[in-house]
């Protein structure tokens, strides 16, 4: 059984740990969000897409975090420079889409041309991981359009953004911030949805307990 | 000036700085099969600056900047220069982040005929170093 105690609150508990890249998760009744929390030479950094733009800054918010075992402490400098490159060039647009795109070393988004740079906060983090790691981080094909509960989302989104639904439908999926945090419990890549499903309720309960909810 | 003469000059320049790691880097360059010499002065200049820089994050940023240059002004020999870079850094004496950065830069081209062998060799070195880190 994977130990959930490795999920901690950012900033409060990580002071004595060496350099790391962690998967961060924020949650309240109306909102959940995903980010990277990076510790390098004692500084804590958050790197994420907040729905408006890409943020690379000193850690300001509190996240629940799980250090990913896929990035070695000695690789943190390389990850930081890669994130800064993405920060310079990335122009994401919010939408429930992901189909294995990634940011290359120039910060360019290698994408489905019909879709453009459309993603969620989790999609952004997955794109970053995919560009940095040799192997795919998750097997995204495990996720389908059933992964969100908003009715007619694709239809109304495509109408609003003048997209051809037939060309972007295959990329329509959502990986949730909770699934993103839960993925941090695994290190053999690519991580499969059934693995995450097997632990995400435990992770949710653990987070809620920590929040005193 | 011939390529060999330019390399010799670079060795002398770096040797004068009494930096053994610089000599190691030049030795790597000399072992490399250079198929197009247009970018050689830029590579030499980059390696010289790289070796002088001590901050790891700044060193890695320099590698990205050099990659930008070769992608923007390559005259069709981008992959040759990239291959040269991969061969130059294929040594366990480099920091894991230095190896990783070259792997990230070259990832979109990993199946390209010119670089795939050099990249696979660097990947092997990286994996070995990471396993023992």
**A165-179, A199-213, B119-133: lowest mean pLDDT where?**
A165-179
pLDDT of residue A25: 97
Q: How many domains does chain B have?
A: 1
* Cβ under 8 Å to B: A residues 114-143: 131-132, 134
Complex ipTM: 0.86
Structural domains in chain A (count): 1
Contact A76 B97 (CB under 8 A): yes
pLDDT given for residue A128 in this prediction: 93
Confidence of residue A171 (pLDDT cuts 50, 70, 90): confident
Residue ranges with strand state E in A69-177: 93-94, 102-103, 109-110, 118-119
The rounded distance, in Å, linking the Cα atoms of A200 and A213 is 17
Q: Which structural domain, as residue segments, surrounds residue B83?
A: 3-132
Q: Is residue A70 over pLDDT 90?
A: yes
pLDDT of A42 > 70? The answer is yes
**Residue B1: what pLDDT?**
47
| Residue of A21, A81, A136 to mutate for B, most B C-beta atoms under 10 A | A81
Tokens in use for A75?
Answer: 């690789």
d(CA A4, CA B63): 38
Q: Helix, strand or coil for residue A32?
A: strand
What is the DSSP annotation of B56-123? HHHHHHHHHHHHHHHHHS-TT-HHHHHHHHHHHT-STTS-HHHHHHHHHHHGGGTT-TTTHHHHHHHH
Interface test with B, best of A75, A107, A111, A127 (most B CBs within 10 A): A75
Among candidates A75, A81, A131 on the partner chain, residue whose Cβ is nearest the Cβ of B96: A75
Choose the mutation target among B69, B100, B125 for the interface with A, i.e. most A CBs under 10 Å.
Answer: B100
| Mean pLDDT along residues A79-85 | 96
pLDDT greater at residue B31 or residue B121: B121
| Parallel, antiparallel or unpaired: strands A102-103 and A109-110 | antiparallel
* Token pair listed for A26: 């924020």
Q: What is the pLDDT of residue B114?
A: 92
B107 touches chain A (CB under 8 A): yes
Residues from chain A that touch B112, judged by Cβ atoms under 8 A, are: none
Give B104's contacts in chain A (Cβ within 8 Å). Answer: 78, 82, 105, 131-132
- Give the closest residue to A108 by CA, choosing from B112, B84, B77, B105: B105
Least confident of A54-58, A92-96, A98-102: A98-102
pTM (two decimals): 0.84
- pLDDT of A47 above 90: yes
> Phi, psi (5° rounding) for residue A110?
-90, 110
Instruction: Check: CB of residue A46 under 8 Å from CB of residue A59.
Output: yes
Q: Is A183 or B32 the better-scoring residue by pLDDT?
A: A183
Q: What is the pLDDT of residue A144?
A: 76
By C-alpha distance, the chain B residue nearest A80 is B57
Q: Domain range spanning residue A11? A: 4-211
Predicted pLDDT of residue A113: 67
Q: Per-residue pLDDT for A182 more than 70?
A: yes
CA distance to partner chain A, nearest, from residue B97 (Å): 5
Residue A49: pLDDT above 60?
A: yes
Q: Is the pLDDT of residue B27 over 70?
A: no
For chain A, what percent of residues have pLDDT higher than 70?
Answer: 89
Q: How far is A208 from B114, CA to CA, in rounded Å?
A: 52
pLDDT surpassing 60 at residue B19? no
Residue B33 has pLDDT above 60, yes or no: no
Determine the distance in angstroms separating the CA of A105 from the nearest CA of chain B, rounded to an integer.
Answer: 5
State residue A191's pLDDT score. 96
DSSP-derived secondary structure letter, A29: S
Share of chain A above pLDDT 90, in %: 54
Res. A26 pLDDT band, cuts 50 70 90:
very high
pLDDT band at residue B34 using 50, 70 and 90 as cut-offs: very low
């Amino acid at each position: 059984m994977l130990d959930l105690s490795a999920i901690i609150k950012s900033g409060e508990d990580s002071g004595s740990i060496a350099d790391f890249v962690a998967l961060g998760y924020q949650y309240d009744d109306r909102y959940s969000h995903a980010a990277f929390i990076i510790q390098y030479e004692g500084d804590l950094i958050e790197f994420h897409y907040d729905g408006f733009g890409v943020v690379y800054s000193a850690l300001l918010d509190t996240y629940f975090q799980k250090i990913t075992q896929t990035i070695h402490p000695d690789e943190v400098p390389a990850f930081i420079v890669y994130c800064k490159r993405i920060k310079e060039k990335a122009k994401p647009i919010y939408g429930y889409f992901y189909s294995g795109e990634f940011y290359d070393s120039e910060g360019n988004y290698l994408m489905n041309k019909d879709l453009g740079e459309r993603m969620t906060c989790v999609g952004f983090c997955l794109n970053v991981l995919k560009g940095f790691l040799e192997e795919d981080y998750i097997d995204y094909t495990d996720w389908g359009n059933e992964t969100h509960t908003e009715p007619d989302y694709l239809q109304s989104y495509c109408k609003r953004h003048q997209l051809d639904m037939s060309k972007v439908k295959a990329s329509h999926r959502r990986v949730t911030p909770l699934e993103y945090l839960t993925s941090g419990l695994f290190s053999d890549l690519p991580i499969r949805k059934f693995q995450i499903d097997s632990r995400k309720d435990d992770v949710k309960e653990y987070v809620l307990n920590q929040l005193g909810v | 000036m011939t390529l060999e003469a330019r390399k010799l000059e670079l060795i002398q320049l770096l040797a004068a700085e009494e930096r053994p790691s610089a000599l190691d880097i030049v030795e790597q360059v000399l072992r490399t099969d250079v198929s197009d010499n247009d970018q050689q002065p830029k590579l030499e200049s980059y390696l010289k600056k790289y070796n002088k820089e001590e901050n790891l994050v700044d060193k890695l940023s320099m590698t990205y900047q050099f990659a930008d240059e070769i992608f923007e002004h390559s005259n069709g020999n981008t992959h040759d220069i990239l291959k040269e870079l991969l061969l130059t850094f294929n040594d366990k004496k480099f920091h894991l982040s230095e190896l990783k950065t070259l792997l990230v830069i070259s990832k979109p081209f990993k199946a390209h005929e010119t670089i795939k062998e050099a990249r696979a060799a660097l990947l092997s070195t990286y994996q070995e170093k990471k396993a023992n880190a």
